[in-house]
Amino acid sequence: MKNLLLPLAAVATLCLAGCGGKTEKDPNTLVETDFETLAGWIPEPQSGTLTTEKAHSGRYAIKVDGNHDYSLTYKVPMGELHDTRVKKIKVSAWTFVSAADAQAALVAAVGNPADPNKPLLWDATDLNHSHTPGKWVEINKVLTVPATASPASTLGVYMWRTGGTKPVYLDDLKVTIAE
């Protein structure tokens, strides 16, 4: 009898260990990436901005430097992010400024489908003012989505090198509803 109970107890333990369930996504999270799944998917000209040189979590982050004025861009129609109109968003990320003369901004934009050259919102958060070079720092910015934004308006998020040639890194990007 003991010989029969031991295997049954082992099977029951394994079954219960696997019953943790899936972690449900926060319904207020619109975008969340640590850039780990992008390797191999990016065209060659942009692949230089996905890097393993520095990362806040995992192996990958994105960067701008003397050879790359713009990082990879996250861009998606607003209507694909949420089933209702989003009025405010919070953009957060971890950034690493490698030197005092490394200058960059985190840009969040809401595109205008009627005129792509005139975005409805364009906001650049300077990454240098809140940084001590050589340390990962979390940044947060709350933005009001213009009332004229439609489901076809695109949300774009990217880094822009504004000066210097030393690298600036960004990891663990998250965009949430801030209402």
Q: How is the chain split into domains, by residue range?
A: 25-177
What are 42-86's pLDDT values in tens digits?
Answer: 666 566 788 889 999 999 999 999 999 999 999 999 999 998 999
Residues 113-147: tens digit of each pLDDT: 999 999 999 999 999 876 678 999 999 999 999 99
pLDDT surpassing 60 at residue 4 = no
> Which pTM value belongs to this model?
0.81
Instruction: Flag whether pLDDT at 173 surpasses 90.
Output: yes
More confidently predicted of 14 and 75: 75
Residue 157 has pLDDT above 80, yes or no: yes
Question: What is the C-alpha separation between 30 and 12, in angstroms, rounded?
Answer: 38
**pLDDT above 70 as % of the chain:** 80
| Sequence-ordered list of residues with C-beta below 8 angstroms from that of 147, at least 6 positions apart, any chain | none
- Residues 12-37 have a mean pLDDT of 60
Class in CATH terms, 25-177: mainly beta
